[in-house]
Chain A
Amino acid sequence: MDEVLSPGSVEFYRKLINEEPDGDKKEFIFYTVKKDRDKVAMLYLAPASDKGRATLRLGDNMWLYIPNVGKPIRITSMQSIVGGVFNNSDIMRLDYSAEYNAVKLDESGDSYILDLKAKTRTVSYDSLKMWVIKKNNIVQKVECYAPSGKLIKTLEFKQVKDFGDGIVRPSVIETTSPLYRDYKSVMIYSAIKRKKLQNEVFTLDYLSRLGELR
């Protein structure tokens, strides 16, 4: 399932749309590179006010680089640097198996239903409930829960698309949250390509140079 969503070492572009309660939208475009289960780096391409910002995630560690500030600042997974319903860990998502252990497996029609439990206390959500299509291992829906058992948000994976080179995965993720009742956020994936990446691309010193990869 992780291999379907994030196949090996890849680069891709994403558009994030945050819809506000008044119907207006805020949009961001990111260039992202991912390697192994737990390395993600992301560069802001638009809007101009955020252009040049970059984020890095290595396992449980996350940093934000702002050109004006001139150094990476450690951030936490529950923060949201772009606002809206997606938090940092949603946008810089690792393989699910890097952060969670499967503790229960059920079946319902053509889907598996998995209960996942966070491996550490720095993971954003204490537990997940995940629906996966049996025939192709594609995730359909993920519900994210707090330690109290309260539902924090729901992610729905839609529009399965063939990106070429054997990469077939949902191209749209929609999210809603009972904590942000009037807000909606959507992430659209585009131009996913396999790319050889050196490990040093995923270091703090390289954050200001991420644009060189494009």
Chain B
Amino acid sequence: MSLFKRLIYYSLLISSSALWNTAEAQDYEFEIPAEEEVAKLEINGNLDAKWGILQTNRTSPVYGLQFFGQDIPGDYLSQYRLDFYLNGDYQYKQVGFTMRTFSQYTNEKSFELSFYELYGSLNLSPRFTFSVGKRRYNWGKGYAFNPVGYVNTEKDPENPDLAMAGKSSVQLQYNRSISSGFIQNLSISAIVLPQEANILEKYSKTGDLSAAFKLYMLINNIDLDFMFNIGPGQRRRYGMDFSTNLRENIEIHGEASYSNGEEMSIIINNAVQMNEASGFSYLLGLRYLAPWNMTVIADYYHNNSGLSQQEYQDYQAYLLNNLITGDADLIDETRFVMTNSFRSRNLMRDYIYVKASMPEPFKWLYSSISVFTIYNLNDNSFILSPQIGYKPFTNTEILLWPSFLFGKKDSEYGSKHFQKKLEIWFRFYF
């Protein structure tokens, strides 16, 4: 039967109607994409050509550290780069193999290739799966932030749908549908994550494993997850999330995570110190479809291990104090602190994320518009970023994406290394 499907066209004829004339009848013929009886190999991906220009923020210590020693005339920088995503999936009976690669080209000398995902899986039945390798997980219901994302790679809140690198892991998953009863569906995931090689880039210390477990249930039309994570040093985190539809156009969701000792870096007396924060991080949000076809996503996020306004100002003062010394070694050390101890894209405690999007506004065909903001409630700084998308042809997309940052000099968004940014993307799928 498989061969049969591959070779024939299913001709579907339609009688003439007021809507569709005879010349369009050929639209009702389509070929079913091929299936393979024994082994399936699928290759796909996309190429993103991106051009960007940004107005730098020369008063920002982050800018000073990032471009220390560089002679940059004027206030503007531009960038042209190619992002290439190549994905492969191979399936032979119960055995699967998945590869997702990312390559970035900015010039001949800096070509980067990385495996975002690379894992094998045993799909023993629709109920049991087992996978080993590098795999991306995405726990939590929030759109831009996930306090219960214990096994997630940190998202870019400004582009949460962007493909990200996974983590080396072993996963066992059990999945059960229960047709009748209080619980409709049930799933259990157990994930073990070895520490990344940090000794000579090949080894890590024994015992540096972490593990995470998740129990999912669909109860009375509510998605409900309970999570548990234990990491190096026996640090434990407990979490839950939920989502449900209130109406035909309203969905609500939430996450809560308790940690008994989340590590956080703070600056005291111009030096980095490790602190432990115990308590709850949480998120509450909704997705609403307005009658005029606009979708609004709104999330409130509290990060218990985030910095207070004073702690963030101390961090900025630390960066500035070390920058103005002009000492190259100290500046290298400060850069290391910046990209390791304070590497999160959003370092503070309370945020509101709002995104509104609409397809084909004002009857502009093949277009879409959206605007999002991430508002820092602790220092009243924010990013405002509208987007205009246009899909002139199938598998082609053009995106115009400006971003504007607002806030005082020592605020989170006011201290970024740029103030305004404009990006243009050309995306081709295959």
Which A residues touch B139, using CB under 8 A? 71
Please encode chain B, from 137 to 148, with 1 for each CB lying within 8 Å of some chain A CB and 0 for all others.
111010000000
Within 8 A of A (CB), among B200-216: 216
Q: Are B12 and A46 neighbours in the complex by a CB distance under 8 Å? A: no
| Partner of A68 from B127, B162, B395 at Cβ < 8 Å | B162
Please determine whether B429 and A49 come into contact, CB atoms closer than 8 angstroms.
Answer: yes
* B429–A48 CB distance below 8 A: yes
The smallest C-beta distance from A36 to any residue of chain B, in angstroms, reads: 8
Chain A to chain B: the 10 pairs with minimum beta-carbon distance, closest first: A199-B177, A200-B126, A71-B138, A49-B429, A190-B10, A70-B138, A205-B175, A214-B35, A48-B429, A15-B30
CB distance from B358 to the nearest CB of A (A): 11
- Residues in B whose Cβ lies below 8 Å from that of A214: 35
Query: Contact: A159 with B12, CB < 8 Å?
Result: yes
Contact indicator A188/B123 (Cβ below 8 Å): no
Chain B neighbourhood of A83, CB < 8 A: 359-360
Q: How far, in whole Å, are A20 and B366 apart by their CA atoms in the complex?
A: 9
Interface positions of A from 39 to 79, Cβ below 8 Å from B: 45-49, 51-52, 58-62, 66-71, 74-79
A58-B218, A211-B91 given; A78·B32 CB < 8 A: no
Residue of B nearest to A200 (CB): B126
Report if A79-B13 is in contact (Cβ < 8 Å); known contacts: A26-B394, A29-B33, A200-B175: no
Asked whether B187 lies within 8 Å of A176 as measured between CB atoms, the reply is: no
> In the complex, A189 Cα to B397 Cα: how many Å?
29
Determine if A212 and B123 form an interchain contact, defined as CB atoms under 8 angstroms apart.
yes
Whether A198 contacts B20 in the complex (CB less than 8 A), given A29-B33, A49-B429, comes out as no
Whole-angstrom CA separation of A26 from B365 in the bound complex: 11
Flag if A203 contacts B394 (CB, 8 Å).
Answer: no
B364-423, CB < 8 A from A: 365-366, 394-395, 397
Mark contacts of A174-196 with chain B using CB atoms, 8 A cut-off: 1 yes-contact digit, 0 otherwise. 10100000101010111100000
- Between B123, B366, B394, the greatest number of chain A beta carbons within 10 A of the residue's beta carbon is seen for B394
Q: Give the total number of A-B pairs whose CB atoms are below 8 A apart.
A: 173
Q: A124-B248, A158-B14, A203-B185 are in contact. Are A198 and B243 (CB under 8 A)?
A: no
Q: Which of B175-190 contact A (CB under 8 A)?
A: 175-177, 179, 184-185, 187
Given A51-B44, A176-B19, A212-B123: A204 touches B395 (CB 8 Å cut-off): no
Pair B218/A68 contact, Cβ less than 8 Å: no
In the assembled complex, the Cα of A198 lies from the Cα of B123 at a distance in Å of: 14
Cα distance A151–B206 in the bound complex, in angstroms: 66
State whether B162 touches A74 (Cβ < 8 A).
no
B193 within 8 A of A: no
Residues of B within 8 A of A (CB): 5, 10, 12-15, 17, 19-20, 27-28, 30, 32-33, 35, 40, 42, 44, 46, 87, 91, 123, 125-127, 129, 136-139, 141, 160-163, 173, 175-177, 179, 184-185, 187, 216, 218, 221, 223, 243-251, 253, 287, 289, 295, 359-360, 363, 365-366, 394-395, 397, 429-430
Q: A49-B395, A190-B32, A203-B126 are in contact. List 14 more A-B contacts (CB 8 A).
A: A24-B365, A27-B27, A29-B32, A49-B46, A52-B44, A69-B160, A71-B138, A89-B248, A172-B28, A186-B27, A198-B126, A201-B126, A209-B126, A214-B35
Write the residues of chain A forming the contact surface with B, with a CB cutoff of 8 angstroms: 13, 15, 17, 20-22, 24-27, 29, 36, 45-49, 51-52, 58-62, 66-71, 74-79, 83, 89, 121-124, 158-159, 161, 171-172, 174, 176, 182, 184, 186, 188-191, 198-206, 209, 211-212, 214
Sampled A-B contacts (17; CB under 8 Å): A25-B27, A45-B32, A49-B395, A58-B218, A74-B245, A74-B251, A74-B287, A76-B248, A78-B249, A158-B15, A172-B28, A191-B10, A200-B127, A201-B126, A203-B175, A204-B187, A205-B216
CB distance from A24 to the nearest CB of B (A): 8
Considering only CB atoms, which chain B residue lies closest to A13 in the complex? Answer: B32
| A22 cross-chain contacts in B, Cβ below 8 A | 365
Q: Binding site of A, secondary structure by majority: helix, strand, loop or mixed?
A: mixed
Asked whether A60 lies within 8 Å of B245 as measured between CB atoms, the reply is yes
> Do A212 and B15 touch (CB < 8 A)?
no
- Given A49-B429, A78-B249, A124-B248, residue A171 in contact with residue B32 (CB < 8 A): no
A205 touches B129 (CB 8 A): yes
In the assembled complex, the Cα of A166 lies from the Cα of B317 at a distance in Å of: 77
Does B248 contact A46, Cβ atoms closer than 8 Å? no
CB neighbours of A60 from chain B (8 A): 221, 245
Q: How far is the CA of A172 from the CA of B10 in the complex (A)?
A: 13
Within the assembled complex, what's the spacing in Å between the Cα atoms of A60 and B251? 12
Given that A122-B245, A200-B126 are known contacts, is A68 also in contact with B163, CB under 8 Å in the complex? yes
Residues of A with C-beta under 8 A to B243: 74
Bound complex: CA A78 to CA B288 (Å): 10
Task: Pick from A76, A159, A199 the residue with the most CB of B within 10 Å.
Answer: A76
Q: Please measure, in the bound complex, the distance between the C-alpha atom of A172 and the C-alpha atom of B19, giving whole angstroms.
A: 13
Chain B residues whose CB sits within 8 angstroms of the CB of A62 once the complex forms: 245
Contact residues in A for B33 (Cβ distance below 8 Å):
29, 45-46
- Taking the closest CB of chain B, its distance from the CB of A79, in whole angstroms, is 5
A159 touching B15 by the CB < 8 A rule?
yes
Please state if B289 and A79 are interface contacts (CB–CB under 8 Å).
yes
Task: Say yes or no: A29 contacts B30, CB within 8 Å.
Answer: yes
**What is the distance, in angstroms, from A154's C-beta to the closest C-beta of chain B?**
11
- The reply to whether B177 and A202 contact each other, CB–CB distance below 8 Å, is yes
Report chain B residues within 8 Å CB of A66.
161
With a CB–CB cut-off of 8 A, which chain A residues contact B20? 174, 184, 186
A76 CB to nearest B CB, Å:
5
